Amino acid sequence: MLGNFAAGAFMLVLRPFKVGDFVQIGGVTGTVRELGLFGTTVVTPDNVLTLVGNSKVFGDTVMNYTARPVRRVERTAQSAGGVDPLDAVERLRTAVAQIANVVEDPAPEVSVLDLNLVGPVIAVRPYTHNDHYWQVYFDTNAAILRVAREAGWPAPTPTQNVRTFAGG
């Protein structure tokens, strides 16, 4: 109990987050509803009211998603081997720039992230204000699907060649 109180006092001085911030603290992700001397109340995205002891908050990593004005949405687009990755990057960059609530500065990042046995993997990373994060997340998924359909790209399907040898 004393540890929670001491941690609460330190948190009031350091102020790593405030009521209304979207955070990950003590293994819980959600919106801060109340700051107390012994615990911090967080409402999770699925609307569960959670009390996190301040000693756990103070003793663990604090991730404050709302401390910065914009947040990057992280998506990837796995392409088939026959898709031209440079063409895919340009098409996706154009589509993402048209999504509502994607900010211009910093500009969306669309680049070849990896090459695997299926084909190129494109990183699609628009930035948006925290209030629009999930809208941009889902709209980015829809844009990836729409671009692939309109371009006529084949579905990325893993293939495996099996060779058998007759021994003798």
User: Taking the domain 2-64, which CATH number applies?
Assistant: 2.30.30.60
Q: Tell me yes or no: is domain 71-151 CATH 3.40.250.10.
A: no
pLDDT digit string, tens, across residues 31-49: 999 988 788 999 999 999 9
Over residues 157-165, the mean pLDDT reads 77
Residue 28: predicted pLDDT:
95
Among 149, 147, 141, 157, which residue's Cα sits nearest to residue 74?
141
Cite the residue boundaries of each domain of the chain with CATH code 3.30.70.100.
71-151
Residue 8: predicted pLDDT:
58
pTM (predicted TM-score): 0.79
- Whether 53 shows a pLDDT value over 60: the answer reads yes
Tokens for 46, please give them.
């699925």
Residue 14: predicted pLDDT:
63
Question: What's the DSSP call for residue 1?
Answer: -
- Rounded to whole angstroms, the Cα distance separating 25 from 71 reads 18
